[in-house]
Amino acid sequence: MLIERVEARWIDAFANTLGLCGVASGDEIAVLSETQSRAVLPRLAELALLRMGARPFHVVMPSPPVEGTIPVRSTGTSLALGGNRAAIASLAASRLVVDCTVEGLLHARERSAIMAGGARVMMISNEHPEVLERLQPDPSIVPVVRRAVARAKAAATMRVTSPAGTDLTISLEGAPIRAAMGFTSEEAPVAYWPAGLVACFPLAGSVRGRVVLAPGDVNLTFKEYLREHTTLEIEGDRIVAIRGEGMEAAMLRGQLSDWNEPDAWCVSHAGWGLNPKARWDALMAYDKRDVNGTELRAFAGNFLFSTGSNEHAGRFTRGHFDWPMRGCTVELDGVAVVRDGLLVPEG
């Protein structure tokens, strides 16, 4: 297990990232955390902001009690704020919220209220700082992500296939398309680090087909590489059947059933990775305690398929799965942007 002491180079990494978010001297910046946050992360954020001449303040929430019997992991839906109006108001009054909660505000119910007054949200994924140092945002990825977003916005349909048997169709009509560059901007007021991908949030009733999870694909909720084939049959956004005789299929059936939340079975978002620095094999190098696995959502050429909360379809749930998949072909209106797990060169 890696040691979590403050290192000067990690302050540098935070200052670099927050600088890319446009933080300037005198800015009032909120650092949001909870009692179970990785303590080094809000500390590094504070030190970086002070070095930059900003005026940070901390909002620290008690981590909420566990409801039910299922561990909540990798949801992107922090429950720490719990609708606390005073905390939400203080966050909304800041220019930027540096989000160091365990699960993050990406799908949290309170995020819209925080951002209503113009505040942006920069999520620091619950990673060991070494991961964040290694994957500092690179402005050179901005035009790559912009072009990918533009292509997705111009398309009516995404189709994903794979040699393992995936054949999934997603209507992009009206679907919000999100850029994930690793830092906030006017075009991306919500960001997370590490990043480097494009994500689509299909509207209700927009997804149908089959997803076949194959050996080498990743279950980020469990932080494990798959060793067996598991098939997800999807109709009207919802997983209607999970086929597979192995342990992984059985565990997935159990998890989704035990949430007792219908939205846990539904599609959250889908997209593809664009970050050449992110590594598919990174989970092998870290203890589970050290890593959140966000990097694997962004490795270049992966197809990212996720279930759980999707605010654009009116769905919120505690259950969430991210599956970065290898070897897929992703087509927009019949034109491949990813072929057999490799980004298709532009032009």
Exposed, middle or buried, 225 (CB in 10 Å: 0-12/13-18/19+)? Answer: middle
**166 shares a domain with 58:** no
CA dihedral sign, ordered 220, 181, 133, 122: negative
* Confidence tier at 347 by pLDDT (50, 70, 90): low
Task: Answer whether residue 71 shows pLDDT above 90.
Answer: no
Looking at 134, 157, 183, the residue that finishes a domain is 134
- Confidence at residue 134, expressed as pLDDT on a 0 to 100 scale: 97
* Confidence tier at 68 by pLDDT (50, 70, 90): confident
**Residue 180 counted as domain residue:** yes
**298 shares a domain with 149:** yes
The CATH number of residue 123's host domain is: 3.40.50.2300
Question: What percentage of the chain reaches a pLDDT higher than 90?
Answer: 88
Strand partners of residue 299 = 275
- Confidence at residue 66, expressed as pLDDT on a 0 to 100 scale: 86
**Residue 3 counted as domain residue:** no
Looking at 83, 118, 134, the residue that finishes a domain is 134
**Residue 1 counted as domain residue:** no
Q: Give Cα separations from 80 to 9, 189, 197, 282 (angstroms).
A: 29, 21, 27, 29
**113 shares a domain with 171:** no
What is the widest separation between alpha-carbon atoms in the chain? 58
d(CA 159, CA 157): 6
Q: Where are the beta strands (DSSP E) in the chain?
A: 28-34, 55-61, 96-99, 120-124, 157-161, 167-171, 177-180, 190-193, 197-200, 207-213, 218-219, 224-225, 230-235, 238-243, 267-273, 303-307, 321-325, 329-332, 335-339, 342-343
**330 shares a domain with 193:** yes
Q: How does the average pLDDT of the chain come out, rounded?
A: 95
Question: Of 215 and 68, which is predicted with more confidence?
Answer: 215
**164 shares a domain with 50:** no
**221 shares a domain with 107:** no
**32 shares a domain with 168:** no
**153 shares a domain with 101:** no
Pick from 73-77, 291-295, 336-340: least confident: 73-77
**92 shares a domain with 74:** yes
Q: Where are the beta strands (DSSP E) in 93-206?
A: 96-99, 120-124, 157-161, 167-171, 177-180, 190-193, 197-200
237-293 confidence digits (pLDDT tens): 999 999 998 999 999 999 999 999 999 999 999 999 999 999 999 999 999 999 999
Q: Classify residue 328 as left (phi > 0), alpha (psi -120 to 50) or beta.
A: beta
- Confidence at residue 224, expressed as pLDDT on a 0 to 100 scale: 94
**78 shares a domain with 24:** yes
Tell me how many domains the chain contains: 2
**123 shares a domain with 159:** no
d(CA 335, CA 324): 21
**169 shares a domain with 66:** no
pLDDT, mean of residues 103-120:
93
Parent domain of 313: 141-343
203-214 confidence digits (pLDDT tens): 999 999 999 999
Question: What percentage of the chain reaches a pLDDT higher than 70?
Answer: 99
